[in-house]
């Protein structure tokens, strides 16, 4: 695995809709491994491929229960609303309040190309929505309800997404 450079705000890849992944090739599998490594190295809880300069629909996340990989993720259902603080590895030193669905059900492919469907709530649901937004060229600042301080981050201690 290799750590990849993280693209920061201002780079057009972050505001471009990413492409569907037709199949999990060796190259894609390597990219997924590298994205996980990069997320851990950066102390992040989530990362989307555009954040490493790759315009493909891949996200990874880990909220303390091991890495979750979703290729071509689609939000199948969403319920409730929650406002909480987010950070983003591509927008250093900024934290903002964002309203997200409280619970989501997301489908996609896992790193082996198998179709999966998972339910998430709380900060995991938030992280998935944040990462899927990246695939559509949407940043947390586009949804910001106001600036926050790092102390206002959720008590789970999230660093960035
Ligand atoms: Ni982000």
161 belongs to a structural domain = no
73 belongs to a structural domain = yes
Tell me the residue range of the domain where 98 lies: 12-156
What distance in angstroms lies between residue 161's CA and the mean position of ligand 1's atoms?
A: 4
In the structure encoding, which two tokens stand for residue 85, read together?
Answer: 């603080």
54 belongs to a structural domain = yes
Closest by CA to 124, choosing from 50, 70, 58, 49, is 70
**Could you tell me the CATH number of the domain that includes residue 22?**
3.90.45.10
What distance in angstroms lies between residue 115's CA and the mean position of ligand 1's atoms?
A: 24
How does pLDDT run across 86-97, given as a tens digit for each residue?
999 999 999 999
Residues flanking ion ligand 1, Cβ below 5 Å:
88, 161
3 belongs to a structural domain = no
Q: How far apart are CA 69 and CA 80, in angstroms?
A: 24
What distance in angstroms lies between residue 48's CA and the mean position of ligand 1's atoms?
A: 7
Q: How far apart are CA 43 and CA 66, in angstroms?
A: 14
In the structure encoding, which two tokens stand for residue 13, read together?
Answer: 């890849």
Count: domains in the chain = 1
How does pLDDT run across 137-158, given as a tens digit for each residue?
999 999 999 999 888 876 545 5
What distance in angstroms lies between residue 98's CA and the mean position of ligand 1's atoms?
A: 12
What distance in angstroms lies between residue 1's CA and the mean position of ligand 1's atoms?
A: 21
- Catalytic member of 131, 151, 152, 159: 131
Are 48 and 90 spatial neighbours (Cβ–Cβ below 8 Å)?
A: no
Q: For this structure, is 131 an active site residue? A: yes
7 belongs to a structural domain = no
Closest by CA to 73, choosing from 130, 2, 10, 156, is 130
Q: How far apart are CA 88 and CA 130, in angstroms?
A: 9
How does pLDDT run across 46-90, given as a tens digit for each residue?
999 999 999 999 999 999 999 999 999 999 999 999 999 999 999
DSSP SS3 for 11: coil
């Amino acid at each position: 695995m290799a750590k990849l450079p993280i693209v920061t705000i201002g780079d057009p890849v972050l505001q471009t809709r990413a492409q569907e992944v037709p199949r999990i090739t060796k190259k894609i599998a390597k990219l997924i491994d590298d994205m996980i490594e990069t997320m851990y190295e950066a102390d992040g809880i989530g990362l989307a491929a555009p954040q490493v300069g790759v315009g493909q629909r891949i996200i990874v996340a880990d909220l303390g229960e091991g890495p979750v990989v979703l290729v071509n993720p689609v939000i199948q259902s969403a319920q409730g609303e929650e406002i909480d603080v987010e950070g983003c590895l591509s927008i250093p030193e900024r934290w903002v309040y964002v309203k997200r669905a409280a619970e989501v059900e997301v489908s996609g492919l896992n790193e082996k190309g198998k179709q999966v469907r998972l339910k998430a709530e709380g900060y995991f649901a938030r992280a998935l929505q944040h990462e899927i937004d990246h695939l559509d060229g949407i940043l947390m600042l586009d949804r910001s309800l106001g600036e926050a301080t790092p102390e206002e981050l959720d008590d789970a201690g999230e660093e960035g997404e």
